[in-house]
Amino acid sequence: MSLDISLIIPAKDEAESLPELHQWISRVLTAHGFSYEIIFIDDGSSDRTWPVMRELAGLDERVKAIRFNRNYGKSAALSTGFREAQGHVVITMDADLQDSPDEIPALYKMVRQENWHLVSGWKKKRHDPISKTLPSKFFNSITRRISGIKLHDFNCGLKAYDVSVVKHISVYGEMHRYIPVLAKWAGFTRITEKVVEHRERKYGHSKFGWERFVRGFLDLLTITFVGRFAQRPMHFFGAWGIVSFLLGFAFTVKILWDKVDSVFFSKVPLKRDVTEQPIFYLALVALVVGVQLFLTGFVAELIARQNISKKTYLVIERAGF
């Protein structure tokens, strides 16, 4: 039976917040008459997160719980949840109670009635330290410029998707913050945002770390490259191969002309042998690099034509399925 909403909630060491979050979600969705499922993913927690999830699944048939054998990251949790989701609208949110379930009905309406492919939450007023908000604004600005998607908060965990979106994108690494970019490259271009409430953390502590911005920026470059050239890598490698090869060829012609000119026309010998001139090595390197780029393009074309299965993660326990 198809459902109205699938809620996907990754959690790591959030045992204290889960019962309250479950009650809040159930109260809101029941009041609006939605059919729904809640999919909790325990991403390698070291506290009582899994026992709490298993208990909730035993008490409420609409709750499903998945446990990873170790911490794989938020992208892995979302990817696993996307595969399990059965609702017409898939909504993701964090487990720390900083995302309000009261936003869910409006998000659902925007997807189902206004026909948006993806609605991203915008935490316009945030309850985070400046050490977190300033880097976030910087990376959001960079992502807007590179992707062309006019969102203010790509990293907001509260998002709503048409189910067709989550079934046709692959999320891995640190890609969860760039899901709107992945959706756009997959052809789901009706993307918008909604201002949502950002609540102060009630339990636990933030998992924020500066290293995630480095990984996030590298992932943004990866998404941009793969999105544009995944199906035609020779267009990238071949173009630069041509540039490098032509540059090397031009240097070679210059070297040969200087040699011929010194022997047959000017009668003035070269001051240095050909192999002692810097331009000789520039020509050699440019020609070799050009050939290597061409070969890389050919290999990439072969790989692009292979069917690569989606990565799976080791799930060691399930509850409520």
Dihedral sign from CA coordinates of 13, 19, 25, 30: positive
What is d(CA 42, CA 80) in angstroms, rounded to the nearest whole number?
11
Residues 6+ apart with CB under 8 A from 130: none
**CA–CA distances in Å: residue 256 to residues 96, 138, 218:** 70, 51, 43
Residue with tokens 């939450």: 121
pLDDT at 78 over 90: yes
- The mean of the pLDDT values for the chain is 84
Provide the edge-to-edge strand list for the sheet that holds 159-162: 191-195, 118-122, 159-162, 87-92, 3-11, 36-42, 63-68, 315-319
In angstroms, rounded to a whole number, what is the distance separating the alpha carbons of residues 283 and 287? 6
Is pLDDT of 320 > 60? Answer: yes
Q: State the pLDDT at residue 307.
A: 46
Mean pLDDT (whole number) for 49-65:
95
Q: How confident is the model at residue 9, as a pLDDT?
A: 97
Least confident stretch, 33-42, 50-59, 261-270: 261-270
Percent of the chain topping pLDDT 90: 43
Task: Name, in order, each residue with C-beta under 8 angstroms of 189's C-beta and a sequence gap of 6 or more.
Answer: 117
Query: What confidence score (pLDDT) does residue 296 get?
Result: 84
49-59 vs 18-31: helix crossing angle, rounded to 10 = 30
Per-residue pLDDT at 182 exceeds 80: yes
Quote the distance between the C-alpha of residue 282 and its chain's center.
39
Q: How much is the pLDDT for 105?
A: 97
Q: HSE, CB side, 13 Å, CA atoms: give it for residue 243.
A: 6
Tokens representing 294 are 């061409």
- Residue 79 near residue 172, CB atoms below 8 Å: yes
The DSSP letter of residue 103 is: G
pLDDT of 14 strictly over 60: yes
User: What is the number of residues in the chain?
Assistant: 321
How far apart are alpha carbons 164 and 6 in whole angstroms? 13
Model confidence at 1: pLDDT above 60: no
What is the pLDDT, as a whole number, of residue 260?
Answer: 74
| Of residues 49, 129, 140, 59, the one with CA closest to residue 96 | 49
Per-residue pLDDT, 131: 63
Distance CA 117, CA 208 (A): 29
Give the tokens for residue 292.
């290597």
**Can you give the pLDDT at residue 309?**
45
The residues that bridge with 118 in the sheet, in sequence order, are: 161, 191
CA 147 – CA 184 distance, rounded (Å): 9
Distance CA 224, CA 311 (A): 20
> Among 72-81, 138-147, 239-248, which range has the highest average pLDDT?
72-81
Q: Which residue has the higher pLDDT, 224 or 206?
A: 224
Closest by Cα among 37, 45, 62, 36 to 11: 45
How confident is the model over 109-123, as a mean pLDDT?
95
Q: Averaged over 196-202, what is the pLDDT?
A: 78
> What integer pLDDT is reported at residue 305 of this predicted model?
54
Higher-pLDDT residue of 52 and 146 is 52
State residue 223's pLDDT score.
66
- The single-letter DSSP state of residue 162 is E
Least confident of 91-100, 203-212, 281-290: 203-212
| Cα 176 to Cα 13, 76, 180, 197, 275, distances in angstroms | 19, 9, 9, 20, 52
DSSP label at residue 118: E
Rounded-to-integer distance, Cα 198 and Cα 156, Å: 10
119-138 mean pLDDT: 77
Q: Is the pLDDT of residue 258 over 80?
A: no
Question: What's the mean pLDDT in 37-60?
Answer: 95
- The DSSP result for 61-82, as a single string, is TTEEEEEESS---HHHHHHHHH
